[in-house]
Amino acid sequence: MTRTGNPRLNGYALLAALALIGALALRRPELAIVAAPFAAALALGARAHDPGLTVSTELDADRTLEGADVPITVTVRAERAVDRAEIQLVPPEGVELVDGEPARSLRLDAGEERVLELTLRCTTWGVYELGEVGVRARDPWRLVTWEARVPPAHRLKAYPRPMTLRSLLAPTRTQAFAGSQVARVKGDGVEYADIRDFVPGDRVRAINWRASARRGSLVVNERHPERNRDVVIFVDSLTDVRGAGHSLLENAVRAAASLATRYLETRDRVGLVGFGGVLRWLQPSMGSTQRYRLVETMLETGVEPTYTWRDVNLIPARILPPAALIVALTPLVDPRFVAALEDLRGRRFDVAVVELDPVPLVPPGRTKVERAAHRLWLLDREVRRARLESRGIAIATWGDGELDTVLEEVRTFRRHAHPGRV
Partner 1 sequence: MCLLAVAAVPMARGDEGFQGIDVRVAAVAFLALVAAVARGWAPLIPLAVALVGAGYAAELAVDDAALDLAAPAVAVGLFLAAELAYWSLDERIRTAGDPGQSLRRTAFVALGATAIFVVSSVLLVLADEIRARGLALDLIGAVAAVGVLVAIFATARDQPSKGA
The verdict on 154 binding partner 1 (CB under 8 A) reads no
Q: Which stretch binds partner 1 (CB under 8 A): 30-38, 214-222, 269-277, 338-346?
A: 30-38
Q: Which stretch binds partner 1 (CB under 8 A): 8-16, 267-275, 305-313, 322-330?
A: 8-16
CB contact set of 87 (below 8 Å; sequence gap of 6+): 55, 74, 76, 103, 104, 105, 106, 116, 133, 134, 135
Minimum CB distance to partner 1 smaller for 43 or for 373: 43
- 3-state SS string over 380-403? HHHHHHHHHHHCCCEEEEECCCCH
Q: How far is Cα 18 from Cα 31, in angstroms, rounded to an integer?
A: 9
Measured between alpha carbons, how far apart are the two ends of the chain, in Å? 71
Q: Which amino acid is at 78?
A: A
Q: How far is Cα 102 from Cα 155, in angstroms, rounded to an integer?
A: 19
The verdict on 349 binding partner 1 (CB under 8 A) reads no
Q: How far is Cα 17 from Cα 35, in angstroms, rounded to an integer?
A: 7
The verdict on 10 binding partner 1 (CB under 8 A) reads yes
Q: Shortest distance, CB of residue 99 to partner 1, whole angstroms?
A: 12
Minimum CB distance to partner 1 smaller for 120 or for 143: 143
Q: Which amino acid is at 274?
A: G
Within 191-250, the residues that bind partner 1 by CB under 8 A are none
Q: Which amino acid is at 394?
A: A
3-state secondary structure of 99: strand
The answer to whether the beta carbons of residues 248 and 358 sit under 8 Å apart is yes
Nearest to 23 by CA among 15, 318, 161, 220: 15
Q: Shortest distance, CB of residue 374 to partner 1, whole angstroms?
A: 44
Beta bridge partners of 137: 85, 146
The verdict on 337 binding partner 1 (CB under 8 A) reads no
Q: With CB under 8 A, what is the number of residues at the site for partner 1?
A: 67
Per the rule left: phi > 0, alpha: psi between -120 and 50, beta: everything else, 332 is left
CB contact set of 86 (below 8 Å; sequence gap of 6+): 103, 104, 105, 106, 134, 135, 136, 137, 138
Q: Shortest distance, CB of residue 153 to partner 1, whole angstroms?
A: 12
Q: Shortest distance, CB of residue 115 to partner 1, whole angstroms?
A: 14
Q: Shortest distance, CB of residue 110 to partner 1, whole angstroms?
A: 14
Q: How far is Cα 340 from Cα 246, in angstroms, rounded to an integer?
A: 26
Q: Shortest distance, CB of residue 39 to partner 1, whole angstroms?
A: 5
The verdict on 37 binding partner 1 (CB under 8 A) reads yes
The verdict on 18 binding partner 1 (CB under 8 A) reads yes
Q: Which stretch binds partner 1 (CB under 8 A): 17-25, 231-239, 375-383, 387-395?
A: 17-25
Q: How far is Cα 284 from Cα 263, in angstroms, rounded to an integer?
A: 11
Q: Shortest distance, CB of residue 73 to partner 1, whole angstroms?
A: 17
The verdict on 111 binding partner 1 (CB under 8 A) reads no
The verdict on 42 binding partner 1 (CB under 8 A) reads yes
The verdict on 61 binding partner 1 (CB under 8 A) reads no
Q: Shortest distance, CB of residue 57 to partner 1, whole angstroms?
A: 12
Among 148, 193, 323, 362, which residue interacts with partner 1 (rule: CB under 8 A)? 148
Minimum CB distance to partner 1 smaller for 37 or for 346: 37
Residue 216: HSE in the Cβ half-sphere, 13 Å Cα cutoff: 0
Within 64-93, the residues that bind partner 1 by CB under 8 A are 84, 86, 88
The verdict on 110 binding partner 1 (CB under 8 A) reads no
Among 150, 312, 328, 388, which residue interacts with partner 1 (rule: CB under 8 A)? 150
Q: Which stretch binds partner 1 (CB under 8 A): 97-105, 170-178, 303-311, 388-396?
A: 97-105
Q: Which residues would be at the binding site for partner 1 (CB under 8 A)?
A: 1-24, 26-43, 45-46, 50, 52-55, 84, 86, 88, 101, 103-107, 135, 138, 140, 142-144, 146, 148, 150
